[in-house]
Amino acid sequence: MQTRESLQQQFETRCRELGLAVTHQRTVIYRELIATGEHPTPEAVYERVKAQIPAISLGTVYKNVKTFLDAGLLKEVSLHHGTLRLDANTEPHHHMVCTRCRRIFDVPEAEFEPVRLKNLPESGFQIDRYSIEVVGVCGACAAARPESSGLGPASAAHTNQVL
Q: Residue 93: CB partners within 8 Å, gap ≥ 6?
A: 106, 107, 108, 109
**Closer to DNA by Cβ: residue 63 or 107:** 63
Contacts for 140-148: CB closer than 8 Å, 24+ residues apart: 140/101, 141/98, 141/100, 141/101, 145/100
Contacts to DNA by CB under 7 A: 15-16, 20-26, 41-43, 53, 55-60, 62-64, 66, 81-84
Query: Does residue 89 belong to the site contacting Mn ion (CB under 5 A)?
Result: yes
Complex with DNA: residue 36 or 41, whichever CB lies closer: 41
Judged by beta carbon distances under 5 to 8 A according to partner kind, the member of a second copy, Mn ion, DNA, none in contact with residue 63 is DNA
Interface of this chain with Zn ion, residues 21 to 50, rule: CB under 5 A: none
CA–CA distances in Å: residue 97 to residues 11, 22, 32, 51, 141: 31, 35, 30, 38, 12
Stretch that binds Mn ion, among 5-13, 106-114, 119-127, 139-147 (CB under 5 A): 106-114
79 binds Zn ion, rule: CB under 5 A: no
Going from the C-alpha of 86 to that of each of 29, 89, 103, the distances in angstroms are 34, 9, 12
The binding site for Mn ion (CB under 5 A) comprises 87, 89, 106
